[in-house]
């Protein structure tokens, strides 16, 4: 186990270095840069822009900028935002909870609904339910989320007036009920895609398990179908889902770009989009490293959990 972990740690560090180098390079290759927003400001002279570039250290060679950034990161200094001067960790901290709330809720919804739909689809294969679930999943996967979001706002807010048109809470209220009320529409919209993905995987995994020899044996023994399903099928079908859940972990914390924008949700996805728009390099790099660490962690946790629940797999 410890050899496995050491190996993993080494792999992860190599991965993080590669990710950060690619990220840093691509970011800096992007035309414009953080000072482009002042290009049409009549009062900012060329001199002002050059001065700001020097103050931000942008006039140094790229590799020096990278090494400087990486060296500071190793010492625990994630840098400061170009926009407002706050430390990157503080900026991330300000957006993390909002994302956790939205993504946590929608992922929980998606897993619950997806698992149920997937299993039912597999056990009632080619039934009307199965067809509907399949078509529904195709629609959910192919229609862009922002469209669902806007249609949702149009119907449930403007026409029916049931839920608010976005925002995390009413300014001046902010009670638990108020949060929940605001959470309904975005979490539903967001979970649509995940229900679709999850149910498709679950259906396949269940079908896979159903065709295994031990299921046939159980049936031959006369075990009741319900018991077979609960005891033999679902347990086995859930194994690949653990990996999927592990892959899901980063997105729970890094947020949803589009949904957060449509529903004016102050989460990490929107932070990323905004920081990219302003070429706020330190924050974008911080988010990149943060999500890379989460990907590594998510996979690691999934591996460990699988090894724990599935005796056939040994970590070496």
Q: Measured on CA atoms in the order 119, 120, 123, 127, is the torsion positive or negative?
A: negative
> Between 72 and 94, whose beta carbon lies closer to another protein?
94
Binding mask 195-234 for another protein (x = CB under 8 A): ----------------------------------------
SS (H, E, C) 97-165: HHHHHHHHHHHHHHHHHHHHHHHHHHHCCCCHHHHHHHHHHHHHHHCCHHHHHHHHHHHHHHHCCCCCC
> Between 57 and 235, whose beta carbon lies closer to another protein?
57
Q: Which stretch binds another protein (CB under 8 A): 14-22, 42-50, 103-111, 242-250?
A: 42-50
Q: Is 43 in the site for another protein (CB under 8 A)?
A: yes
Among 246, 267, 286, 298, binds another protein (CB under 8 A): 267
Binding mask 69-88 for another protein (x = CB under 8 A): -----------xx-xxxxx-
In this structure, the chain runs to a length of 316
Find the DSSP H helices in 222-280.
225-228, 234-254, 257-262, 268-277
Q: Is 21 in the site for another protein (CB under 8 A)?
A: no
Q: CA-to-CA distance for 139 and 229, rounded, in angstroms?
A: 29
Question: Could you tell me the end-to-end alpha-carbon distance of the chain, in angstroms, rounded to an integer?
Answer: 6
Structure tokens at 187: 């979490």
Footprint of another protein (CB under 8 A): 30-33, 36-48, 51-52, 55-56, 80-81, 83-87, 91, 94-95, 98, 150, 153, 157-158, 164-168, 171-172, 261-264, 266-267, 270-271, 273-274, 279
């Amino acid at each position: 186990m410890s050899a496995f972990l050491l190996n993993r740690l080494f792999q992860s560090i190599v991965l993080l270095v590669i990710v950060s180098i690619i990220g840093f390079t691509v970011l800096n290759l992007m035309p414009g840069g953080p000072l482009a927003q002042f290009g049409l400001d009549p009062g900012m002279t060329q001199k002002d822009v050059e001065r700001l570039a020097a103050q931000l250290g942008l006039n140094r060679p790229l590799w020096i900028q990278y090494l400087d950034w990486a060296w500071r990161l190793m010492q625990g200094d994630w840098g400061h935002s170009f926009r407002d001067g706050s430390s990157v960790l503080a900026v991330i901290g300000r957006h993390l909870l909002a994302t956790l709330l939205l993504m946590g809720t929608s992922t929980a919804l998606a897993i619950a609904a997806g698992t149920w739909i997937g299993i039912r689809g597999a056990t009632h294969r080619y039934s009307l339910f199965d067809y509907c679930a399949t078509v529904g999943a195709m629609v959910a996967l192919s229609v862009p989320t922002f469209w669902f979001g806007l249609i949702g706002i149009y119907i449930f807010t403007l026409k029916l007036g049931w839920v608010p048109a976005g925002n995390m809470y009413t300014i001046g209220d902010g009670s638990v009920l108020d949060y929940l009320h605001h959470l309904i529409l975005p979490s539903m919209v967001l979970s649509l895609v995940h229900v679709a993905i999850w149910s498709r995987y679950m259906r396949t995994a269940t079908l896979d398990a159903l065709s295994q020899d031990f299921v046939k044996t159980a049936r031959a023994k006369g075990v009741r179908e319900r018991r077979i399903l609960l005891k033999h099928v679902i347990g086995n079908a859930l194994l690949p889902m653990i990996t999927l859940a592990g892959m899901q972990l980063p997105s729970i914390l890094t947020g949803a770009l589009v949904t957060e924008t449509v529903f004016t949700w102050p989460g990490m996805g929107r932070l990323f989009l905004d920081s990219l728009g302003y070429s706020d390099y330190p924050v974008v790099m911080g988010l990149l490293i943060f999500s890379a660490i989460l990907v590594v962690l998510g996979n690691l946790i999934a591996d460990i959990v699988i090894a724990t629940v599935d005796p056939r797999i040994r970590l070496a």
